[in-house]
Amino acid sequence: MKPKPQVTKTMEDEVSHNQITNFFNDAWQILLKDLRLELRRKYEIYSIIILALISNLSFGFALGPSNPNVTDFISGMLWVPILFIGMLGFTTGFVREMDRGSIEGLRAAPISPQAILAGKTVYIFLLMCGGAIIIIPSSMAILNYSFHSNGFLVLLVVALGILNIAVIGSIVSALAMYSQSRALIIPALSMPLLPGTIIPSILATGKLAVGADINSILPELQINLAFLLLMIATLWITFEYVLYD
Amino acid sequence: MNMFYMIKGENMKKIYPIIIFLVNLAALYMIFLWAPPERTLGDSYRVFFIHTPSAWISYLAFTITFVSSILYLKTRNFKWDLYASSSALLGLLFCIIAIITGAIWAKVAWGLYWNWDPRQTTTLVLMLAYLGYVSFRMAINDKEQRARVSSVLGILAFISIPLSYLSTIIWATIHPMPLIPTSKLQIGVEPAILQTLLTSTFAVTLLFLWMLYITVEMYRTIDTVESVKMENVK
Amino acid sequence: MKTSNLSKSYGDIFAIRDVSIEINQGEIFGLMGPNGAGKSTLIRILSTLTKSSSGEASIFGYNLRKDQRQVKKLIGIVLHHNLLYDELTAKENLSYYLRLYGFRNKETIEKIIFEKTSQFNIVDRVEDQIGTLSSGQRKRFDIIRATIHNPKLLLLDEPFSGLDRQGIAQLKDFFNSTKKNSTILFSTHNQQIGEEVSDRIATLEKGRIIETKTSGD
């Protein structure tokens, strides 16, 4: 048997050409890079924690320690601060890349625009989840209430709602980077896009607070799922127009 | 655009406004004089004839923005960007009219200016979408960038509106408003009222299309003047 | 690399107009001209960051409009500002970009980073955050970033500005050593450096090429 011919590995051989794994790899790299940046600039994490606690304390002062009607306010008390934390993330997503000029590095790299968007979306999603992890338990402790439904349902509703906000947030951030008043334009851009997902999330959370089961929140879940799929499909087609000329 | 094919000629440009003026005059006559007073609401129901066409136009205008946005991204012809932006600007105007007249109508028919009717709320969301779109455009300097990026916003906003509508429907079923129906909506049953509604809708649609045409021409002229100016500076 | 009648206009104003150049493999090509002559625009178009309004360009047979992804794999770019993240270390920055270009193997990445940084004598700074470095060091790391995936065509917009004398010398050496594998196109407003470094020079004025010559004549 002949020995296999020795092939010297060149740099080109090391490059992966698998489109699917490259998609996930690129999105993962961008996410990792953004998380690393976030962790090194601690003040944004502090502002999330402060925002969460201030919101909970304000509701606490407004409603009193053991308000019998607290369940009526739970969904608003949770989603308002979560949304505002999301807004913080919107400004960091793409706007920051534009401000420091590194967006050109992403534009010139041989990666799919959807991978970039996916990385940014997951980044905003994780940022908001971090916020929710602080807000929800501390709110339950400060205002002295608990959900009377299955905990997994609460998680599902919150996670799906946050994911939808993150999808909108990443595209809003990408659009906003072209405008002059980058941070100011973000609410104006996101407000018309958000009602379709924020209303169902608020409603479902409100129902879960008083012990609803999965059947009674099915319509909300369906709308949120439809929202997610529709937005992903639209962005899949249109996002390259946002990023490239 | 094919829509304006018939009014391309210089003569038609002069005749068309006269036709629109006459049709709108006829519509106004029907709205205020010809249509009989409604049984329970009396004359105050006539705001409905202004509200419904404006609401229809605000959705039509947004659809035109949506379609023009897609066409811009496909063809990169600035003509479509002019249609998208002009339509949005007029849509915002009609949307504001629809919301104000809608609030008056709601007060007349149900006793409250704002009754969280899904359609009413969705029209408000639509107005926010218009405002977001228009202010976003103003915040971008580069012409090509503005056209490209706001096209994507036009498409996304259009797609999200039905979902907002569905959400408000669910919301309304959970929180039904204590309505005080002073009349069981029987508008449309009477043929005279239906005819008036159709005529006014037709009249306002013609008016909108004409306004759209003028707005597009206006922006096109501004563009030309700007580029001539720039050329001279150079 | 080849362009024919490449133009970019903003409205009725042309940033570059009917630019036709052909650059051979292994050549160092200098773009000269005053500020606002269209050098940056040309480089941005060739690096796929800006689309041309009309005309064609191809890089190693790949059309700049149709085969963007292929072109992107083959080019490396240096712009006026660096594309590095201040909060990350130089090494993190470089390995991030290497991974975006499809490199996965950790050892390979370490090796490439070591080799490239040795060339510029800044191996000892790779663990430093970019924000803490001097502007000259940042520039060096940015040039390393642009060449980290061994691009076949290197596009540099004013690479010599912001470098001290030592940096300029290093970059010249670097140009000559990379010449074997890749083509280099750079812009400069400095006549002297331009003529010293490049094999051929094109001078741009008001978006048009007014002169092309072989340097050293």
- Chain A residues inside the 8 Å CB shell of C73: 110
What is the pLDDT at residue C13? 73
B159, A231: Cβ pair inside 8 Å?
yes
**Res B109 pLDDT > 50:** yes
What is the pLDDT at residue A18? 79
A193, B160: Cβ pair inside 8 Å?
yes
Closest CA to A210 of A162, A154, A161: A154
- Tens digits of residue pLDDT in A5-38: 444 455 566 677 778 888 999 999 999 999 999 8
C11, B230: Cβ pair inside 8 Å?
yes
Closest CA to C76 of C154, C171, C181: C154
What is the pLDDT at residue A231? 94
**Res C144 pLDDT > 60:** yes
The pLDDT-based confidence of C215 (bands split at 50, 70, 90) is low
- Tens digits of residue pLDDT in C88-122: 999 999 999 999 998 888 888 999 999 888 888 88
C12, B231: Cβ pair inside 8 Å?
yes
A16, C104: Cβ pair inside 8 Å?
yes
Which 129-148 residues of chain B touch chain A by CB within 8 A?
Answer: 129, 131-133, 135-136, 139-142, 144-146, 148
Of A17, A29, A244, which has the smallest distance from its Cβ to C100's Cβ? A29
Does residue A91 or residue C8 have the better pLDDT? Answer: A91
- Chain A residues inside the 8 Å CB shell of C68: 244
What is the pLDDT at residue B176? 64
* C neighbour chains, 3+ CB pairs within 8 Å: A, B
The pLDDT-based confidence of B208 (bands split at 50, 70, 90) is very high
Mean pLDDT of C9-35: 81
Least confident of A45-54, A136-145, B29-38: B29-38
What percent of chain C lies above the pLDDT cut of 90? Answer: 16
**Res B181 pLDDT > 50:** no
Average per-residue pLDDT for chain A: 87
Query: What residues contact residue B13 under an 8 Å CB cut-off, 6+ apart?
Result: B7
- Which residue of chain C is at minimal alpha-carbon distance from B141? C10
What is the pLDDT at residue A234? 94
**Res B160 pLDDT > 60:** yes
Of A175, A226, A227, which has the smallest distance from its Cβ to B153's Cβ? A175
- Which residue of chain A is at minimal alpha-carbon distance from C108? A14
- Chain C residues inside the 8 Å CB shell of A17: 102
What is the pLDDT at residue B223? 85
Q: What values do phi and psi take at C3, rounded to 5?
A: -125, 150
- Sheet with C200-205: list strands edge to edge: C75-78, C153-157, C183-188, C28-32, C200-205, C208-214
Cα B158 to Cα A236: distance, rounded to the nearest angstrom: 16
What is the pLDDT at residue C216? 57
What is the pLDDT at residue A211? 83
Mean pLDDT of A197-221: 90
**Res A185 pLDDT > 50:** yes
Average per-residue pLDDT for chain B: 84
The domain locations on chain B are 47-223
Mean pLDDT of B78-93: 94
Q: Is A107 an 8 Å CB contact of chain C?
A: yes
What is the pLDDT at residue A7? 46
Mean pLDDT of B38-59: 83
Does residue A233 or residue B177 have the better pLDDT? Answer: A233
A26, C100: Cβ pair inside 8 Å?
yes
Q: Is A35 an 8 Å CB contact of chain C?
A: no
What is the pLDDT at residue B4? 54
C78 is in which domain, residue-wise?
A: 2-214
Which 6-35 residues of chain C touch chain B by CB within 8 A?
Answer: 10-13
- Which residue of C8, C9, C13 is the best one to mutate when testing the B interface, meaning the one whose CB has the most B CBs within 10 A? C13
The domain locations on chain A are 23-243
Mean pLDDT of A64-74: 83
What is the pLDDT at residue A174? 93
C12, B143: Cβ pair inside 8 Å?
no
- Chain A residues inside the 8 Å CB shell of B73: 238, 241
What is the pLDDT at residue C217? 47
ipTM, interface predicted TM-score of the complex: 0.87
CATH number at residue C130: 3.40.50.300
The DSSP line for C88-136 is SBHHHHHHHHHHHTTB--HHHHHHHHHHHHHHTT-GGGTTSBGGGS-HH
Q: Identity (one letter) of the amino acid at B17?
A: P
C87, A11: Cβ pair inside 8 Å?
no
What is the pLDDT at residue B92? 95
**Res C70 pLDDT > 80:** yes
Cα C161 to Cα C64: distance, rounded to the nearest angstrom: 28
The CA distance from B107 to the nearest CA of chain C, in Å, is: 50
- Chain C residues inside the 8 Å CB shell of A16: 102-104
Q: Is A22 an 8 Å CB contact of chain C?
A: yes
**What total number of domains does chain C contain?**
1
The pLDDT-based confidence of B178 (bands split at 50, 70, 90) is low
Mean pLDDT of A222-240: 94
Mean pLDDT of A63-77: 84
Closest CA to C3 of C76, C80, C71: C71
C11, B234: Cβ pair inside 8 Å?
no
What is the pLDDT at residue B183? 47
A15, C99: Cβ pair inside 8 Å?
no
Which 47-86 residues of chain B touch chain A by CB within 8 A?
Answer: 73
> CA C49 → CA A41, A109, B104, C40, C44, distances in Å?
29, 10, 52, 11, 5
**Res B3 pLDDT > 70:** no
> CA C62 → CA A57, A229, B57, distances in Å?
60, 35, 48
What does DSSP say about strands C28-32 and C2-10: parallel, antiparallel, or unpaired? unpaired
What is the pLDDT at residue B45? 77
Q: Is B143 an 8 Å CB contact of chain C?
A: yes
- Which residue of chain A is at minimal alpha-carbon distance from B76? A245
Of A33, A41, A109, which has the smallest distance from its Cβ to C101's Cβ? A109
- Tens digits of residue pLDDT in A155-176: 999 999 999 999 999 999 999 9
